Every structure is written in C-alpha cells, then in structure tokens.
C-alpha cells in the first residue's frame, strides 16, 4: 500500500517549535497520522484481519523538523483480510462477537511533508 504524505495539513499556524501541545482529535492531520500508525501496526501484526482506528482518544503535536504527532488511539479488527485489501476506507468493523477485538494504542508519528517522509518511532498496542 502506498499512502500519500503530500496532503498532510499543518495542524495550526500558531504552533511554535518546542513542547507538544494538545490538538483536536478531528484535525485532518491527526486523522491521517493515526492512519499511518494503524498501517504500521497492521504491517507488524500477524493477525489475519486488518485493524482500523475506531476512536482517537487524545492527540498532541510537536513541531520538530516537521510535525510529530503523539496519539492515543483505539483500533478495532475489521472484516478485511490482510492478503485481500489495501485501502482501509472500505473496511467495516467486525460484527461477529467472537471475532471482535479492540486494542488501545500509542503512536508517535513524525511527518516531514517537504521530504514526503513518515517515521513512526513508537507504535505500542495492547
């Protein structure tokens, strides 16, 4: 799966370099960063199914040579099997009780839009 980095919007023009500051969980940049974290999780998991973000619980952003998002995200198992799907947009969450699974994740997603690079130094899910 190729995911574009070019259209990640800056969270807010007033943010100065330095400490992480809270940012809305509905921010488009936050949502895109959460999806990058989910891709990273899916690539490293040996689950048969893909997971997808169900709720972004908390988001912070730090300006450090780009934007570093610090995210607390709940992810859930979808009905899409890994080998068959690339885009998570069309994947619905599992409805079968015995296949449902929810994980709480902490992602650090570092985006440098001018180099089109995404680095995810931290992706912990449990």
pLDDT at residue 8 in the model: 54
Is 119:68 a contact under the CB 8 Å cutoff?
Answer: no
Q: pTM for the complete prediction? A: 0.86
For 85-102, write each residue's pLDDT tens digit: 768 999 999 999 999 999
pLDDT at residue 57 is higher than 70: yes
Say how far apart CA 26 and CA 123 lie, in whole Å: 20
Say how far apart CA 56 and CA 34 lie, in whole Å: 8
pLDDT at residue 65 in the model: 84
Determine the distance from the C-alpha atom of residue 97 to the mean position of all C-alpha atoms in its chain, rounded to a whole number: 25
Say how far apart CA 65 and CA 72 lie, in whole Å: 22
pLDDT at residue 84 in the model: 82
Domain ranges of the chain: 21-125
pLDDT at residue 114 in the model: 83
- Confidence grade of residue 83 (pLDDT, cut at 50, 70, 90): confident
Domain spanning 21-125, CATH architecture: Roll (3.10)
DSSP code at position 39: H
């Amino acid at each position: 799966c190729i995911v574009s980095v070019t259209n990640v919007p800056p969270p807010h023009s007033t943010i100065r370099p330095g400490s992480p500051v809270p940012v809305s969980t509905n921010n488009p940049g936050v949502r895109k960063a959460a999806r990058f974290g989910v891709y990273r999780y899916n690539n490293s998991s040996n689950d048969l199914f893909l997971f997808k973000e169900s709720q972004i619980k908390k988001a912070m952003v730090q300006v450090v040579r780009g934007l570093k998002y610090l995210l607390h995200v709940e992810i859930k198992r979808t009905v899409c099997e890994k080998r068959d799907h690339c885009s998570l947009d069309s994947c619905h969450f599992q409805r079968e009780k015995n296949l449902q699974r929810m994980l709480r994740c902490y992602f650090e997603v570092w985006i440098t839009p001018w180099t089109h690079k995404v680095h995810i130094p931290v992706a912990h899910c449990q």
